[in-house]
Amino acid sequence: MITVQITLQLETMSIAAAAAARENMTFDQYVEWRLSSVDQGSNPVNFLGSSASDDENPERVARALFDIALEQQAEEHDEDHHVEARPYLIEELYTRHYNGKPWTSWSVGNRIQLGRQFKKLVDAQGKGGKQIEDGRQMRIEFVGHTKQNQTRYRTVRAG
C-alpha cells in the first residue's frame, strides 16, 4: 500500500465524501473502488452517481443473485437423512448462474460492494422469508466466513 497526497477543491471533496457515505464505505475505500473501476475499463469516475452499466451495477446484481439464491435447490441429505442446506459463496452463485462473465472481471471494489449489497438484502429479510413460485417459504441465512474472509450463506425453508 502507498500513501498519496492530493489537493482537491472543497466542493469536490464534499461530493466524494457524500458519495462514499451513500455507498456505506470509507472515503479511502470509495476512492480506491472508483479508481479501480477506471482501471478495469469502466466509464470515467463520476462522484455524483454510479458509472457501472446495469450488468455491472453491484446493487442490481446483488438483487438478481439474491433471487437466484432463494430459488435454488440447496438441500442435501446428511448421513442421518436430515435435510441440510449446502453453504455457498456469492462468487459461486455469480459464476454458476449469472451472465457468464468471470467473477474476476469485476474490480475488487465492485466485488466488495456486491457483497455488501447482498448482505443488506439478507439482513432485511423478514423471519418468514419469501414465498417463491413453487409455494415454498425460503430465506437466506448467514453461515460464517471462510479462512479468506469470504462470507458463506445458505438457503433454507422458512416455514
What are the pLDDT digits (tens) for 111-154? 999 999 999 999 999 888 888 877 888 899 999 999 988 999 99
**Rg (alpha carbons) of the chain, rounded to whole number:** 18
Which ranges of 4-54 would DSSP assign to H, the alpha helix?
10-22, 27-39
Average pLDDT rounded to a whole number, residues 31-56: 54
Look at residue 49 in the predicted model and tell me its pLDDT: 42
Confidence band for 77, pLDDT divided at 50, 70 and 90:
very low
Q: What is the pTM of this model?
A: 0.61
Look at residue 134 in the predicted model and tell me its pLDDT: 77
Give the span between the Cα atoms of 33 and 43, in whole angstroms: 13
Q: What's the half-sphere exposure (Cβ side, CA atoms, 13 Å) at 48? A: 2
Give the span between the Cα atoms of 91 and 105, in whole angstroms: 12
Take residue 51 and report the three cell numbers written for it: 458509472
Give the span between the Cα atoms of 23 and 2, in whole angstroms: 23
Confidence band for 42, pLDDT divided at 50, 70 and 90:
very low
Return the domain boundaries, the chain.
1-51, 54-157
| Contact yes or no for 85/69 (Cβ under 8 A) | no
